[in-house]
Every structure is written in C-alpha cells, then in structure tokens.
C-alpha cells in the first residue's frame, strides 16, 4: 500500500481500540483536568473550543466519583506572561490575573487539590507534575480530561506514557476544534503510547483498596 506524503481529500481514520468499562485502585490513580479555563471553554474566550462546553458535565461526574474515594486531583492551568513566544502562534491568551486564565466556575478546584501552571503544551515540561505523581503520591495510572485533545492533552499523554504511567482518556471528556483532531489524538494515545481510551467518562470507576497508599501520605 502506498501512502501519499500530502493527503488529498478525505483521510480515513485508522481503527481506535476502545475499552468498554474499567476500574482503578483509587490510591494508585490521579485525575488530571487539563486547561479547562475561560479562554478555552467560554464563548467569550480568546481561543474558544466550541466542543469543550459539552465535556463539562462528564468531567463533573468523574470528579465527583474521584473525590468520593480520595483520588488525587490535579488541575493544569495554561499560563503565559507578556511577550510569550507562544503568542506568535495563538495570540494572547491565559495570562495570569485575567478572566481568561481562570478555571471555569463549573469545575473550580477544591482546597488541597494540586494546581500546576504550565507554559508549553506538555504539562510535565518545566513543572512539578512528575515530582508529585512519581515521588510523592506514587500513582501508576493517570486519567486525562480537558482540552485541547490534539495539543495539550496529547502532549501530556505522550509524556505520561513515556514515563511509564498508564494513561486513560475518556473521549467525551476531551475536546478539539475538528473531528479529525479528536480522532487523531485518541488514535495516537491508544496506539502509539499504549493508553486506554473509553467512549465515556461514566465508564471509569475507582475502587477503594485498603493498604495501597504509601506510608506517610
């Protein structure tokens, strides 16, 4: 089979292997909420992803189940100071202290939940995320939700997979600008990084297993 270097017309998405339902030990799992900020989710945002609003309810339900069993919750907040080089690509967005930088009201972090501020697509790059996941909490599974599917979600999933975390992504809890971008992200996460993808966040359950947290936590 030959592959065109520059595709023309419709591109067929390779098969994406979905898992139906799955359960993880709460003490060995973290839930990461990626960039659910006003600039990306709200209609008046600087870089609105229209589909992001549809992911809020599934993320809320997943957060409720995670918090009920003390699953570690991480909020990642895209953060850029004045004259950031990324503005050359996307224009100004998510600057500290602005409305657009804030996490949307419907998904506000709770006291004690980790907040990571990043300035590149990858949530591990130049942040303390790996320190907490690997050395403080010692989790094995990272559930990723948020936006944008083929940008920050994908780059963070890649870094997590390369660090040997089990990466889990529910399709209805991530969003992108196009169906192609969404499908590409799910395909890469499941095929290239060995992640687990599900159709719905409602298909993810957490189980309490006594004695699985590390001493001192």
Give the residue extent of every domain in the chain: 21-207
> Can you give the pLDDT at residue 211?
47
> Can you give the pLDDT at residue 4?
64
CA 192 to CA 201: how far, in whole Å?
A: 21
CA angle, 84 then 81 then 121, to 5° = 60
pTM for this structure? 0.92
**In this structure, are residues 80 and 87 in contact, taking their beta carbons and an 8 Å threshold?**
yes
**In this structure, are residues 90 and 40 in contact, taking their beta carbons and an 8 Å threshold?**
no
pLDDT tens-digit profile, the chain (217 residues) = 566 677 777 778 889 999 999 999 999 999 999 999 999 999 999 999 999 999 999 999 999 999 999 999 999 999 999 999 999 999 999 999 999 999 999 999 999 999 999 999 999 999 999 999 999 999 999 999 999 999 999 999 999 999 999 999 999 999 999 999 999 999 999 999 999 999 999 999 999 876 444 433 4
152, exposed or middle or buried, with CB in 10 Å at 0-12, 13-18, 19+? buried
Name the CATH architecture for the domain at 21-207. Answer: 3-Layer(aba) Sandwich (3.40)
> Can you give the pLDDT at residue 14?
86
By 3-state DSSP, what share of the chain in percent is helix, strand and coil, each rounded to 5?
35, 20, 40
- Residue 132: what are its φ and ψ, rounded to 5°? -75, -45
């Amino acid at each position: 089979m030959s592959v065109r270097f520059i595709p023309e017309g419709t591109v067929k998405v390779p098969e994406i292997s979905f898992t139906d339902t799955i359960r993880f030990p709460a003490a060995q799992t973290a839930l990461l909420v990626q960039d659910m900020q006003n600039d990306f989710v709200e209609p008046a945002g600087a870089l609105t992803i229209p589909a992001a609003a549809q992911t809020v309810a599934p993320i809320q339900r997943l957060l409720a189940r995670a918090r009920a069993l003390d699953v570690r919750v991480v909020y990642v907040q895209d953060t850029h100071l004045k004259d950031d080089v990324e503005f050359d690509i996307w224009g100004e967005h998510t600057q500290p202290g602005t409305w657009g930088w804030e996490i949307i009201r419907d998904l506000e972090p709770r006291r004690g939940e980790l907040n990571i501020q990043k300035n590149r697509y990858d949530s591990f790059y130049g942040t303390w995320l790996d320190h907490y996941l690997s050395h403080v909490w010692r989790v094995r599974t990272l559930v990723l939700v948020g936006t944008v599917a083929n940008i920050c979600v994908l780059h963070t999933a890649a870094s997590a997979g390369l660090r040997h975390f089990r990466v889990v992504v529910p399709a209805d809890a991530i969003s992108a600008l196009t169906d192609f971008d969404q499908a590409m992200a799910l395909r890469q996460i499941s095929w290239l990084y060995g992640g687990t993808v599900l159709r719905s966040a409602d298909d993810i359950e957490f189980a309490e297993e006594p004695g699985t947290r590390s001493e001192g936590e």
